[in-house]
Amino acid sequence: MFPSPRIYEVITRFRQGKVLNFCNGVMYKCFCNVGESDKLPDWVKPSSAADSQEDDFVIPSNMNWVGGLKAPDEKFDSKHGSFGIVDNDVAIVTRILMGDFAMPEDVVQALNGCDSCPSNSLVDKMLKRFSNDWVCAFGLFKWAQTNIRYKHSADAYDSMVDILGKLKQFDIMWGLVEEMVKVEGLISMRTMSKIMRRLAGAGRWVDAVAVFREVERYGLTRDILCMNLLLDTLCKERCVEHAQDVFLEFKNVIPPDQHTFNILIHGWCKARRLDNARSIMEDMGDHGFLPCVISYTSFIEAYCRDKDFRKVDSLLNEMQENGCPPNIVTYTIVMHSLGKAKETNEAMEIYEKMKRNSCVPDTSFFNSLIYILSKAGRLQDAHKIYEEMSRSGSSPNVTTYNTMIAAACEHSQENSALKLLHEMEESGCKADLKTYAPLLKMCCRKKWIKVLSYLLNDMVRKDISLDLGTYSIIIHGLCKSEQLEKACQFFEEVVLKGLIPFNSTFNLLVDVLERKKMEEAKRRVQDLMMQAENSEKSCRSVSFV
């Protein structure tokens, strides 16, 4: 059963409006349909005065190297606005999925008209690329099923279940799960973990627990592994009370292990209810388990959040006395917290203390140190740590690059930010949404629309799907740059994907439209928001059976 198509009727009327001339594209097509004269690398040159006045865009003269970001075996498709190997199945299917679709059945019909055949690699790539667009993802999934020579893998089913759960399409998700039940071997604990996580993340604690209770119905064992998965999910979604209830109900049926207690200790510490955490630690001893470095580190993390560094020092000493010395995770948490509290010198002392205790720094520790120095404005020192990582045997990872890129953007070092993106690609490190968020924000702030267009296309090429938070960053930036038509286009795209725009994003866009006396556009944005909220309410009415 699919959601009501009423919202799509409103969107159609909205798109036909004369005031804003909304584009017919989905995803990032309002910026991706650039002309041949705008493509990289030709445009990455100093712009003339006339060009800058027309586009409100001036590329720095020393950034000609940015053209090297584009992979040499790919070329830009100016008609469809995407980077990719032209004429292969990935490029063809991507072009089709970047059209307008109200329902998954429309996607199936569109794909039936192409010559591409589904394969495991194609489906996996498309599910990643459209992981934040359930209509396109599910349409592709159903289309692939119609081919008698193709059979979905368990991973494809799990990915589709996760996408539907993430976007709160729970009725469709459960229908897919029932379909999986009919095929032996498709449902695994990984499947159940994704379902419980998405239900808990949507505030459906009762439904998440119900999945655990009924797990044997799906051919799985309700054992300590399954219970720990549920407890961990509930604690991470800030519902430790429900986790505690499950623990008390089942602890005599499913004997807990050390990990069970550490999950609950961390959950109570995260909720700043340390008395409950201490009670769990006592219960841990009664069951024959001694507190370990994970147990102590949970308390240290809680004290760090409260900036009670005296208790942190006391507990660090207690750990040493009890023969349970702090590990690299413990030291990283303490150093990171001191840095966030703007006690940079004290944070560096932790670094020295760690070395005295023969604790070898890892990539996460270096990442934290880079973050601290960057936040303190010591970008040169941060870059030295970045260079030191490889020499010490710790290779930079996605968090390292994300931290450096965000710091460069924050301190108006645009060249450095884009060079880091280039270095990231050259090193083979896969970028994610957090990599691009500060870059997109920077482009909006500086009105670098062509660079923004390139980055959005680059995300498509790397199978990175925009989520609600990233859309909000772009819309906020475009509003502040007074590029309201583009901001409204992205707002429309959010709703087309079945997402509910943040109230802050909606209010900002409406306020700017009102200030610019664009009354009709404002009313249409309000109408879209109302319909999106109604669609969300209808989805919430479906519960686990």
Task: Kindly state whether residues 8 and 70 are assigned to the same domain.
Answer: yes
H/E element, 217: none
Task: With cut-offs at 50, 70 and 90, classify the pLDDT of residue 531.
Answer: confident
pLDDT attached to residue 29: 45
CATH number, domain with residue 367: 1.25.40.10
Partnered with residue 84 across adjacent β-strands are 75
pLDDT tens digits for 150-204? 999 999 999 999 999 999 999 999 999 999 999 888 999 999 999 999 999 999 9
pLDDT at 115: 86
Structural domain ending residue among the three candidates 435, 465, 495? 465
Mean pLDDT over 244-258 rounds to 95
- Domain membership of residue 53 (yes or no) is yes
Q: Are 262 and 294 in contact (CB under 8 A)?
A: yes
What domain range is 538 assigned to?
Answer: 468-545
Q: Of how many residues is the chain composed?
A: 545
How many distinct structural domains can be found in the chain? 3
For residues 368-374, average pLDDT: 91
Q: Is residue 256 within 8 Å of residue 247, measured between CB atoms?
A: yes
Q: From CA 532, how far away is CA 537, in angstroms rounded?
A: 9
Q: Given this model, what pLDDT does residue 255 score?
A: 95
Cα 170 from Cα 208, distance rounded (Å)? 12
Domain membership of residue 74 (yes or no) is: yes
In a domain, residue 244? The reply is no
Task: Please enumerate in sequence order all residues whose Cβ is within 8 A of that of 86, keeping only pairs 6 or more positions apart, or say none.
Answer: 75, 77
Q: In terms of domains, do 443 and 509 share one?
A: no
Contact 331, 360 (CB under 8 A): no
Asked, for residue 236, whether it belongs to a domain, the answer is no
Least confident window among 74-83, 324-333, 407-416, 481-490: 74-83
The Cα–Cα gap between 439 and 424 comes to 14
CA gap 474, 483 in Å, rounded: 11
Tell whether 44 is covered by a domain. Answer: yes
Radius of gyration of the chain (CA): 26
| Statement to judge: residues 435 and 493 lie in one domain | no
Instruction: Please check the confidence at residue 12 and state whether its pLDDT lies above 80.
Output: no
Using DSSP's 3-state secondary structure scheme, residue 536 falls into helix
Q: Using the predicted structure, report yes or no on whether residue 24 has a pLDDT greater than 50.
A: no
Rounded to whole angstroms, the Cα distance separating 334 from 339 reads 9
Q: Are residues 375 and 455 in the same domain?
A: yes
DSSP string of 124-140, one letter each residue: HHHHHHTTT-HHHHHHH
Contact between 184 and 152 under an 8 Å Cβ cutoff? The reply is no
Residues 6 or more apart whose Cβ sits within 8 Å of residue 219: 184, 187
Both 370 and 435 in one domain: the answer is: yes
Query: Is 514 within the bounds of a domain?
Result: yes
126: in domain: no
Task: Flag whether pLDDT at 5 surpasses 50.
Answer: no
**Residue 344 identity:** T
Same domain, 387 and 478: no
Same domain, 367 and 431: yes
Question: Does the pLDDT of residue 446 top 70, yes or no?
Answer: yes
447 and 512 in a single domain? The answer is no
Exposed/middle/buried for residue 343 (C-beta within 10 Å: 0-12, 13-18, 19+) = middle
- pLDDT score of 51 more than 60: no
Domain boundary among 39, 55, 86: 86
Indicate if 392 and 424 belong to the same structural domain. Answer: yes
The two three-digit tokens of residue 158, written as one number: 């799990």
Whether 61 and 19 share a structural domain? yes
Specify the amino acid at residue 30. C
Q: Are residues 478 and 449 in the same domain?
A: no
Most confident of 111-115, 504-508, 533-537: 504-508
Domain assignment present for residue 283? The answer is no
Look up residue 145 and give its amino acid.
Q
* Judgement on whether residues 370 and 439 belong to the same structural domain of the protein: yes
Query: How far is residue 354 from each of residues 302, 330, 360, measured CA to CA in Å?
Result: 20, 10, 8
How far is Cα 174 from Cα 544, in angstroms, rounded to an integer? Answer: 8
Q: Match 């490889």 to its residue by tokens.
A: 390
Return d(Cα 545, Cα 406) in angstroms, integer: 44
Q: Which amino acid is at 4?
A: S
Of 62, 86, 110, the domain-final residue: 86
CB burial class (10 A; 0-12, 13-18, 19+) of residue 141? buried
